[in-house]
């Protein structure tokens, strides 16, 4: 995926008018209309807000947006749909180019490129390229905003490129290496060659004379062995633990010398029982996925939901971390500070969970130009920053919160967490956001001897922060994936129908074919469809259902569907859906009357505990007031412990 830096000279389109960033001023930029020549001021938060809303578009080299919505005229490929061999080749090219740019910058002289190839090109990347080839890579890579797809060559248009070595010979030699060389007996290359020749001779005895395989050479066996990473070769011959200690210096020392040079991602279950937003019924403990910058200790983003760790939850946390938080005050008005931390990182450090080894996660990082680092087994130091941050956040947020769970049955005693639970998922999200923005980022961190907020402002260069050029594609990457049949009426998903003119034009060509659908459970108003041929298209719900589905979450939709099922109504009846929405609102009001007394007791216990122990958070928690029939917000002061320190910072 292409990315960009908001620096002088950046060209963009706002409301169909072309502009260019001229100079950075305090709080924003001076921008010039490229048609009229008029210069105006553009506030930074307003720029990021318009960028996320889609009214600001970053054009490609030809001046037209790469991504289109419903018209489907121009679509973008997804990296995880490319062949495995092509993806590995692209990864090698990008790793080399990023290393070259860090050392030599955008220098394309023959001497610099040859020196870079000699010092930076790894044998595992394959055959060394020429200086002219690298120069072409650099030009395409930089001109496209470091878009990984720019490195895909049109090799299918070239002449004869048949293999010099028969694929069967390579397979047999690879098998010989696995059985002889990559063993604890540590056989030599000569022994491996002898084994390969014996296997090929056996194969040739079964083939006619004209189809006999050519015998390999020792040089060819050596070349195949060098393709295997050093640590993997060492682990196969000496053991995994020996390899971990042998390469501890090279693989354990991860560069972290500036903001966004390395981030860490991990999950935890929050130690509190959450109640339903509408019915006030205990649901369970939510999962928190946290993204933290290892250099500044700033929390870049998070995702809170009841979904267990998966590629989708990680992708949503990554999206929150990468994109600017321009709408922070609108979404969380109780926060006092700002959350300026955002941007595409260089390296993401994760553990070996299945969600981090999924093709979709690796493809997402690949498209954004992010290198994935996997922490070795029994090596917590590789992502200790995020693990400590998760522990600190969990303790400070849930320490005295009603519905808190405990680490053991003995510690919990007779306390009924579900019975005392009062906090909603929305309220907990507000708590976490306020704690991050107003407490954690403002507090002195012992690891850096300053606050994370101060470290970010001091070390982060706004001109070097990369953003995805097409934020719409982040929705595709972070969405859930489903397979659906393409019908004459479009696609049906979650009981809703999606179709537009572009999708309808595909049906006559491919008929009832199966397509991949990517959808966001937080907004069922539209989906992204992977059309045959690799294109991605945004498709909205049909007009009849769009008013109902736009902005509707999967949880709300499921609740309405269950209510309709109990009443024997048809899911597709829009009138019935609208009536159910109204009925749910009435149920909420009725439920609030029935639970006022209990909620009032919970509220008193919550406030009393907060005053005695000074919990480190303040957030909007929904309670029911005794004098009204509707739920009213009560802003409970949950943090007092660090007030003196915060006043000193101000």
Could you tell me if 497 and 488 are in contact, meaning their C-beta atoms sit under 8 angstroms apart?
no
As for how many domains the chain has, the answer is: 4
Answer yes or no: do 196 and 135 share one domain: no
pLDDT at site 390: 92
> Rounded mean pLDDT of 383-395?
89
The DSSP element (H or E) to which 104 belongs, if any, is helix 84-104
Is residue 259 over pLDDT 90? yes
pLDDT at 582: 56
Q: Are residues 229 and 339 in the same domain?
A: no
| Strands of the sheet with 514-520, listed across from one edge | 480-485, 514-520, 523-531, 535-540
Residues 275 and 412 occupy one common structural domain? yes
Q: Give the C-alpha separation, 415 to 419, whole Å.
A: 9
Task: Give the domain-ending residue among 209, 230, 252.
Answer: 252
Higher pLDDT, 231 or 262: 262
Q: How confident is the model at residue 79 (pLDDT cuts 50, 70, 90)?
A: low
Whether the pLDDT of residue 205 is over 70: the answer is yes
Select the more confidently predicted residue: 568 or 224.
224
- Is the same domain home to 223 and 356? no
617 forms bridges with which residues in the sheet?
A: none
DSSP output for 599-619? HHHHHHHHHHHHHHH--S--E
Same domain, 373 and 347: yes
Count of CA atoms in the C-beta half-sphere (13 A) of 47: 23
| 624: confidence class by pLDDT, cuts 50, 70, 90 | very low
* More confident position, 50 or 410: 50
Which H or E run contains 518?
Answer: strand 514-520
Domain boundary among 199, 221, 252: 252
- Of the pLDDT bands very low, low, confident and very high (cuts 50, 70, 90), residue 508 is confident
User: How many residues are there in the chain?
Assistant: 650
Instruction: Output the CA–CA distances (angstroms, integers) from residue 639 to 396, 423, 424, 567, 610, in the order listed.
Output: 9, 16, 19, 46, 8
Cα separation, 216 vs 196, whole angstroms:
8
Is 183 inside any structural domain?
Answer: yes
Buried b (16+ CB within 10 A) or exposed e, 343-361: bbbbbbbbbebebbebebb
Q: Is residue 613 part of a domain?
A: no
Q: Is the pLDDT of residue 368 over 70?
A: yes
Max mean pLDDT among 138-147, 227-236, 444-453 falls in 444-453
For residue 255, the model assigns a pLDDT of 54
- Whether 327 is covered by a domain: the verdict is yes
Measured distance CA(536)–CA(69) in Å, rounded: 9
Q: What is the pLDDT of residue 290?
A: 96
Q: Are residues 312 and 387 in the same domain?
A: yes
Same domain? 221 vs 299: no
Residue 457: partners with Cβ closer than 8 Å, 6 or more residues away: 340
DSSP 124: G
Residue 22 · residue 29 · CB < 8 Å: yes
Q: Which residue has the higher pLDDT, 385 or 279?
A: 385
Same domain flag for 20 and 92: no
Strand order in the sheet with 39-43: 39-43, 28-33, 17-25, 11-14, 56-57
By C-alpha distance, which of 164, 161, 166 is closest to 207?
A: 166
What is the pTM assigned to this prediction?
A: 0.58
Instruction: Check the CA dihedral 107-111-115-121 and report its sign.
Output: positive
Q: Which residue from 73, 135, 87 is spatially nearest to 107, judged by alpha carbons?
A: 135
74 in any annotated domain: no
pLDDT of 105 above 80: yes
The span from the CA of 497 to the CA of 525, in Å, is 10
Considering the domain architecture, whether residues 332 and 398 belong to the same structural domain is answered as yes
646 pLDDT band, cuts 50/70/90, is very low
Residue 594 lies in a domain: no
Lowest mean pLDDT across 32-36, 153-157, 306-310, 315-319: 153-157
Query: β-strand 496-498 against 39-43: which pairing, if any?
Result: unpaired
The enclosing domain of 10 has a CATH number of 2.30.30
Q: In terms of Cα–Cα distance, which of 302, 578, 584 is closest to 440?
A: 302
Give the C-alpha separation, 56 to 15, whole Å. 7
**Is 450 among the domain residues?**
yes
Among 102, 120, 151, the domain-final residue is: 151
Give phi and psi for 126, each to the nearest 5.
105, -155
Q: In this predicted structure, what is the pLDDT of residue 264?
A: 94
- What count of Cα atoms within 13 Å lies in the side-chain half-sphere of residue 622? 20
In a domain, 225, yes or no: yes
Q: What CATH number does residue 281 fall under?
A: 3.30.420.10
pLDDT of residue 612: 35
Domain containing 224 equals 167-252
Judgement on whether residues 223 and 304 belong to the same structural domain of the protein:
no
**What is the C-alpha separation between 53 and 518, in angstroms, rounded?**
20
Instruction: Sort strands 347-350 and 371-374 into parallel, antiparallel or unpaired.
Output: parallel
Position 203 pLDDT exceeds 60:
yes
Q: Which residues contact 221 (CB under 8 A, 6 or more apart)?
A: 173, 176, 177, 189, 192, 193, 196
On whether residue 367 sits in a domain, the answer given is yes
pLDDT tens digits, residue range 567-585? 665 555 555 555 555 555 5
Inter-residue contact 57 to 118 (CB < 8 Å) = no
Report the distance separating Cα 32 and Cα 41, nearest Å.
9
Q: 460 with 317, same domain?
A: yes
Q: Do 24 and 146 have their domain in common?
A: no
Interstrand relation of 263-269 and 347-350 (parallel, antiparallel or unpaired): parallel
637 within 8 A of 457, measured Cβ to Cβ: no
pLDDT-based confidence at residue 299 (cuts at 50, 70, 90): very high
CA distance 429 to 424: 9
Helices then strands, counting H and E runs in the chain, come out as 25, 22
- For residue 301, the surrounding DSSP H or E stretch is strand 299-305
H or E stretch including 483? strand 480-485
Residue 181 carries which DSSP code?
Answer: I
Q: Which of 152-166, 379-393, 438-452 has the lowest mean pLDDT?
A: 152-166
Residue 40 Cα to chain centre, angstroms: 35
Other C-beta atoms closer than 10 Å to the C-beta of 157 total 6
Give Cβ neighbours of residue 588 (< 8 Å, ≥ 6 apart).
Answer: 278, 279, 631
Contact 580, 560 (CB under 8 A): yes
Mean pLDDT (the chain, rounded): 77
């Amino acid at each position: 995926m292409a990315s960009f830096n908001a620096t002088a000279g950046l060209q963009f389109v706002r409301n169909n008018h072309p502009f260019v960033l001229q100079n950075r001023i305090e709080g924003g930029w001076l921008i010039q209309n490229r048609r009229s020549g008029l210069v105006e001021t553009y506030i930074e938060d307003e720029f990021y807000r318009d960028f996320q809303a889609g009214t600001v578009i970053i054009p490609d080299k030809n001046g037209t947006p790469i991504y289109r919505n419903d018209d489907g005229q121009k679509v973008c490929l997804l990296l995880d749909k490319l062949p495995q061999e092509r993806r590995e080749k692209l990864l090698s090219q990008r790793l080399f180019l990023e290393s070259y740019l860090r050392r030599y910058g955008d220098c394309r002289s023959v001497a610099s490129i040859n020196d870079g190839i000699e010092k930076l090109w790894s044998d595992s990347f394959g055959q060394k390229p020429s200086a002219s080839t690298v120069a072409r890579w650099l030009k395409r890579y930089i001109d496209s905003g470091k878009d990984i797809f720019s490195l895909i060559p049109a090799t299918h248009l070239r002449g004869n490129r048949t293999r010099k070595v028969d694929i069967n010979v390579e397979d047999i030699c690879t098998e010989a290496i696995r059985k002889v060389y990559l063993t604890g007996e540590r056989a030599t290359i000569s022994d491996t060659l002898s084994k390969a020749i014996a296997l090929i001779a056996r194969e040739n005895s079964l083939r006619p004379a004209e189809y006999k395989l050519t015998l390999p050479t020792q040089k060819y066996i050596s070349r195949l062995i060098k393709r295997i990473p050093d640590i993997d070769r060492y682990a196969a011959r000496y053991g995994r633990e020996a390899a971990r200690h042998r390469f501890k210096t090279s693989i354990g020392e991860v560069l972290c010398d500036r903001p966004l040079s390395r981030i860490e991602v991990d999950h935890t279950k929050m130690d509190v029982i959450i109640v339903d937003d509408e019915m006030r019924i205990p649901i369970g403990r939510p999962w928190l996925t946290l993204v933290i910058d290892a250099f500044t200790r700033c929390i870049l983003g998070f995702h809170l939901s009841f979904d267990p760790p998966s590629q989708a939850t990680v992708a949503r946390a990554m999206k929150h971390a990468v994109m600017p938080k321009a709408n922070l005050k609108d979404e969380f008005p109780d926060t006092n500070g700002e959350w300026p931390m955002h941007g595409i990182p260089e390296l993401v450090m994760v553990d070996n969970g299945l969600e981090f080894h999924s093709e979709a996660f690796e493809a997402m990082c690949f498209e954004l130009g992010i290198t994935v680092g996997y922490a070795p087994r029994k090596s917590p130091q590789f992502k200790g920053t995020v693990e400590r941050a998760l522990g600190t956040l969990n303790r400070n947020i849930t320490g005295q919160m009603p519905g808190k769970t405990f680490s053991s049955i003995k510690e919990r005693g007779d306390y009924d967490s579900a019975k005392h639970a009062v906090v909603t998922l929305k309220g907990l999200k507000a708590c976490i956001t306020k704690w991050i923005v107003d407490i954690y980022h403002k507090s002195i961190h012992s690891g850096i001897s300053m606050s994370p907020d101060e470290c970010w402002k001091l070390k982060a260069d706004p001109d070097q922060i990369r953003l995805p050029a097409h934020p719409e594609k982040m929705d595709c990457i972070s969405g859930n994936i489903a397979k659906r049949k393409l019908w004459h009426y479009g696609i049906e998903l979650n009981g809703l129908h999606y179709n537009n003119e572009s999708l309808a034009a595909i049906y006559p060509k491919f008929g009832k074919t199966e397509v991949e659908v990517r959808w966001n459970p937080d907004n069922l108003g539209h989906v992204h469809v992977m059309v045959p041929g690799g294109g991605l298209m945004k498709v909205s719900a049909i007009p009849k259902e769009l008013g109902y589905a736009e902005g509707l979450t999967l949880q709300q939709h499921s609740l309405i569907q269950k209510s309709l099922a109990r009443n024997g109504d048809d899911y597709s009846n829009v009138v019935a859906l609208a009536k159910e929405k109204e009925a749910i609102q009435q149920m909420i009001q009725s439920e609030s009357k029935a639970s006022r007394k209990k909620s009032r007791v919970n509220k008193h216990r919550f406030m009393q505990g907060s005053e005695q122990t000074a919990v480190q958070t303040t957030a909007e928690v929904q309670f029911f007031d005794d004098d009204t029939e509707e739920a009213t917000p009560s802003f409970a002061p949950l943090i007092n412990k660090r007030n003196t320190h915060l006043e000193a910072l101000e």
